[in-house]
């Protein structure tokens, strides 16, 4: 009886996590390996720009399900000065977990957001992917999980939402929605940000 209940609860949490995902996004057929050895999948989504941080070259996007997430875009990806709040972009990006998902220590709670290192570059399809994504250790809240797709949605102490892809199932084994955890992750690195012609999309 308890096993049936456990399965029912697992299915319910999986469905809830799916609804929380900001993706009508598709997983591109490209994988990457960061300098720390973590693997990630390229994700693609059409989303609306809700905030632009020119100093840190970060763009906050709202996906079709209404969820927000933040990507870091290098100068070679897009001229952020030409992007405005309200623009619709097709974003293809990478993010990766570099460490376990676990309960934070008291020291980590006292300093909840630490830049561990500049991630610099990774490899995609055997080719280097340059970028400005940083390696962050942060005390975060789990906002969504999809064990089938291997994705975790987290909110960092600054209120920014990150979607981490290609997370191994064992790293999510003891993690629940709403849980506060410490996670070391590479910020979502935009591979491309392309403007979407809304009029063309409407008439098609």
> What is the full DSSP assignment across 135-176?
EEEEEEEEEEEETTTTEEEEE-TTS-EEEE-S--GGGGTT--
Q: Is the pTM of this model over 0.75?
A: no
| Residue of 184, 186, 187 lying closest to 99 (CA atoms) | 184
| Residue of 181, 148, 142 lying closest to 167 (CA atoms) | 148
Q: What is the pLDDT along the chain (204 residues), one digit of tens a residue?
A: 444 434 333 333 333 333 333 334 444 444 455 555 555 567 788 999 999 999 989 999 998 878 788 888 888 888 899 999 999 999 988 777 766 678 899 999 999 999 876 544 444 344 434 444 678 889 999 999 888 888 888 899 988 888 877 788 888 888 899 999 998 887 788 888 999 876 544 445
Q: What pLDDT score does 141 carry?
A: 94
Q: What pLDDT score does 124 carry?
A: 39
Report the C-alpha gap between 4 and 57 in whole angstroms.
48
Report the C-alpha gap between 74 and 47 in whole angstroms.
18
| Residue of 163, 132, 149, 165 lying closest to 54 (CA atoms) | 132
Report the C-alpha gap between 58 and 55 in whole angstroms.
8
Report the C-alpha gap between 155 and 169 in whole angstroms.
20
Q: What pLDDT score does 83 carry?
A: 94
Q: What pLDDT score does 47 carry?
A: 94
Q: What pLDDT score does 102 carry?
A: 87
CB crowding 141-165: b at 16 or more within 10 Å, else e:
ebbbbbbebbbbbbbbeeebbbbbb
| Residue of 140, 184, 50 lying closest to 58 (CA atoms) | 50
* Domain assignments of the chain as residue spans, ordered by start: 2-195
């Amino acid at each position: 009886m308890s096993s049936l209940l456990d399965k029912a609860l697992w299915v319910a949490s999986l469905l809830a996590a799916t609804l929380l995902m900001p993706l009508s996004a598709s997983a591109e057929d490209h994988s990457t390996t960061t300098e720390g050895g973590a693997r990630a999948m390229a994700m693609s989504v059409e989303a609306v720009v809700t905030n632009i941080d020119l100093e840190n070259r970060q763009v906050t996007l709202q996906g079709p399900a209404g969820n927000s997430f933040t990507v870091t875009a290098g100068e070679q990806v897009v001229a952020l000065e030409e992007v405005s709040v309200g623009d619709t972009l097709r974003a293809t990006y990478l993010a990766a977990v570099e460490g376990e998902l676990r309960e934070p220590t008291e020291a980590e709670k006292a300093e909840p957001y630490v830049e561990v290192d500049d991630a610099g570059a990774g490899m995609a399809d055997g080719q280097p992917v340059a970028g400005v994504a940083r390696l962050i250790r942060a005390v975060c809240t789990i906002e969504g999980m999809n064990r089938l797709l291997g994705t975790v949605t987290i909110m960092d102490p600054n209120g920014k939402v990150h979607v981490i892809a290609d997370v191994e199932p064992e790293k999510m084994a003891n993690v629940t929605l709403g849980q506060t955890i410490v996670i070391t992750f590479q910020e979502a690195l935009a591979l491309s940000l392309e403007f979407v012609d809304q009029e063309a999309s409407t008439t098609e």
